[in-house]
Amino acid sequence: MTVSVDLDRSVADTIHLESLPGVVDRLIQQCHDIGAPAMTAIKRVGDSVLMEYHGPLRLVAELRTYSALSVVLGEYERDRDDGYTGAVARLRRSVTAGVLSALTGVEDRLGFRIDPLRDRWTLRDRVVEGLSWQNDPGGWQLNLTRSGGLLVGQVGPLHRSSRFPAMRRLPASTNPLIAAVLAHLLHARPGHLVYDPFCGSGTLLVEVHALDAELTLVGSDSSAAALVAAAANQHLFPSGRLLRADAVRLPVATDTVDRVISNIPFGKRVGSHAGNLELYPAFLAELNRVLRVDGRAVLLTEDKTLFRRSVQATPELHVVREVQLASGGLHPSAYVLERTRAAARRLKARSDPPR
Task: Please state, in angstroms and rounded to a whole number, the distance separating the CA atoms of residues 247 and 250.
Answer: 6
CB of 23 to ligand SAM, least distance (A): 15
The residue ranges that bind ligand SAM (CB under 6 A) are 170, 172-174, 198, 200-201, 203-204, 221-223, 226, 246-248, 263, 265, 270-271, 279
CB of 196 to ligand SAM, least distance (A): 7
CB of 223 to ligand SAM, least distance (A): 4
CB of 302 to ligand SAM, least distance (A): 10
Task: Please state, in angstroms and rounded to a whole number, the distance separating the CA atoms of residues 344 and 331.
Answer: 32
Task: Please state, in angstroms and rounded to a whole number, the distance separating the CA atoms of residues 204 and 181.
Answer: 10
Q: How many CA atoms lie within 13 A of 142 on its CB side?
A: 27
Longest dimension (CA), the chain: 85
CB of 250 to ligand SAM, least distance (A): 9
Task: Please state, in angstroms and rounded to a whole number, the distance separating the CA atoms of residues 129 and 133.
Answer: 8
* Nearer of residues 150 and 183 to ligand SAM, judged by Cβ: 183
* Nearer of residues 47 and 221 to ligand SAM, judged by Cβ: 221
**DSSP secondary structure code for residue 262 in this structure:** E
* Nearer of residues 127 and 183 to ligand SAM, judged by Cβ: 183
24-27 CB contacts, 8 Å cutoff, 24+ apart: 24/48, 24/49, 24/65, 26/65, 26/180, 26/181, 26/184, 27/63, 27/65, 27/66
Q: Using CB atoms, what's the residue nearest to ligand SAM?
A: 200
CB of 313 to ligand SAM, least distance (A): 18
* Nearer of residues 27 and 279 to ligand SAM, judged by Cβ: 279
Number of DSSP helices (H) and strands (E) in the chain, helices first: 12, 17
Task: Please state, in angstroms and rounded to a whole number, the distance separating the CA atoms of residues 127 and 57.
Answer: 24
* Nearer of residues 203 and 234 to ligand SAM, judged by Cβ: 203
Helix segments in the chain, DSSP class H: 23-34, 58-61, 76-81, 85-97, 120-131, 160-163, 176-185, 203-211, 224-232, 273-290, 304-312, 341-351
* Nearer of residues 42 and 208 to ligand SAM, judged by Cβ: 208
Helix (H, G, I), strand (E, B) or coil at 257: strand
CB of 172 to ligand SAM, least distance (A): 4
* Nearer of residues 70 and 203 to ligand SAM, judged by Cβ: 203
φ/ψ bin of 125: left (φ > 0), alpha (ψ from -120 to 50), beta (otherwise): alpha
Contact 302, 269 (CB under 8 A): no
Burial of 271 (0-12, 13-18, 19+ CB in 10 A): middle
* Nearer of residues 223 and 239 to ligand SAM, judged by Cβ: 223
CB of 277 to ligand SAM, least distance (A): 13
Cα dihedral across residues 343, 347, 348, 350: positive or negative: positive
* Nearer of residues 174 and 288 to ligand SAM, judged by Cβ: 174
Helix (H, G, I), strand (E, B) or coil at 333: strand
